[in-house]
Amino acid sequence: MTEAPERAAGPPVSDADPFAHGVLLDPEPLHQALRGAGPVVYLSRYDVHALARYEQVHAALVDWQHFESGAGVGLANFRHEKPWRLPSLLLEADPPRHDAPRRALREILAPPALRRLRTTWHTVAEEIVDQVLAGGTEFDGVTALAEAFPLRAFPDAVGLGPDGRENLLPYGNMAFNAFGPRNDLVQTDAHRVAELSAWVNAQCAREALSKDGFGAAIWAAADRGDLTYEQAPLVVRSLLTAGVDTTVHGLAACLYAFARHPDEWRRLRQRPELARTAFDEAVRWQSPVQTFFRTATTDVAIAGTLIPKDTKILMFLGAANRDPDRWHDPDRFDLTRDPSGHVGFGMGIHQCVGQHVARLEAEALLTALARRVERMELTATPRRHPNNTLRSWTSLPLRIRPTA
Ligand code: 8QM
């Protein structure tokens, strides 16, 4: 009896480096090659199996029983390597330990809990847009809008004090690099790990937080016994790690999309209620979080390829979000499509718990812009910033035409 040929041959092998600067800055060519090579590709450089097609990425995301998060969702396997910080109780945990923190945070960030933020954030967004337009019609969309708005709205909503907020983006950049290999991007920030971690950890204490924010709500969940007092500060830390850079680069993706697609901006201006769909379509199209790993809990087959127990699987969310077998004309930013089902927020039990917060931020900023801006265009090539996980930007040089 001979083995089935595909089994004997094993999966296609690639020596590509998904974390090389060139690939991080322009990932689509690699994504296309990996999707084309097969449902599973072995990446020899990192000794991991990779998934780039929607079907397999989706299947791995929803199967937490075979693909665990507790061994870390980066390249490092926490069963063999010491993590750079205490593991997250949400992202880097599996049921049953994952469930109480998840339930507590889900309630705190659910749409009903966000209702009182809506008016505040629409006002903040209008102030920021007015202020930017008062300064002229040419500006950098990253600093003036994509960073400025969430950096004002979100830390206030968490209840952070006024000092040290400039540490949030560098901390996030470091944390998202840490999911990748220990390459030059990780080395560059190595001298700031202790300082930035100390600042973030200090902000998670009850005394550091206002009485009425998400942070206080997390501590109140501990008072009710929904969380332990040991868990509360780590759940606050999740907000500070996951809640800033992701939104900044999601909003930057929106600005980039609309600057490149003036017809879609016209459509949004006619129907501002499309703002949330526009944000999800931008998240699909750009995938601010590009990749995450899982670890096989047992020997498990994916599309006929054996993934050995305790080895890492790399999921290309960005590639799945542009898989032509799932999406019509996937490279097109298109407000008439239904982007739901994209895996830019993940899928399954770990799917982004802050997605309603992110959508509310996007809705506030995009509707404020839609009211004041008739057209936006790029005046120079936008610049991306390489990060091992995030598709991030340093500048989007924009020129806008204000409404009459
Ligand atoms: C990524 O610390 C955390 O809990 C955490 C960090 C990063 C993320 C999620 C959670 C997905 C945005």
Range of the domain at 62: 2-402
**Mean per-residue pLDDT for 3-26?**
83
**Mean per-residue pLDDT for 76-84?**
98
Residue 18 has pLDDT above 60, yes or no: yes
The 10s digit of each residue's pLDDT in 294-352 is 999 999 999 999 999 999 999 999 999 999 999 999 999 999 999 999 999 999 999 99
Q: State the average pLDDT for the chain.
A: 97
Q: How much distance in Å is there from the Cα of 241 to the middle of ligand 1?
A: 6
Provide the domain count of the chain: 1
3: confidence class by pLDDT, cuts 50, 70, 90:
very low
For residue 247 and ligand 1, the question of a CB distance below 6 A is answered with no
- Domain of 397, CATH number, reads 1.10.630.10
For residue 90 and ligand 1, the question of a CB distance below 6 A is answered with yes
pTM of the entire predicted model: 0.97
Measured CA to CA, the distance from residue 71 to residue 98 in angstroms comes to: 13
Smallest CA separation from ligand 1 atom 7, residue: 242
Smallest CA separation from ligand 1 atom 6, residue: 242
Kindly state the percentage of the chain with pLDDT values over 70. 98
For residue 366 and ligand 1, the question of a CB distance below 6 A is answered with no
For residue 177 and ligand 1, the question of a CB distance below 6 A is answered with no
Residue 5 has pLDDT above 80, yes or no: no
Place of tokens 């008062």: 134
Q: How much distance in Å is there from the Cα of 110 to the middle of ligand 1?
A: 17
The 10s digit of each residue's pLDDT in 130-177 is 999 999 999 999 999 999 999 999 999 999 999 999 999 999 999 999
Kindly state the percentage of the chain with pLDDT values over 90. 98
For residue 242 and ligand 1, the question of a CB distance below 6 A is answered with yes
For residue 61 and ligand 1, the question of a CB distance below 6 A is answered with no
Smallest CA separation from ligand 1 atom 3, residue: 238
Place of tokens 């880097």: 92
For residue 91 and ligand 1, the question of a CB distance below 6 A is answered with yes
**Mean per-residue pLDDT for 269-284?**
98
Q: How much distance in Å is there from the Cα of 120 to the middle of ligand 1?
A: 25
For residue 173 and ligand 1, the question of a CB distance below 6 A is answered with no
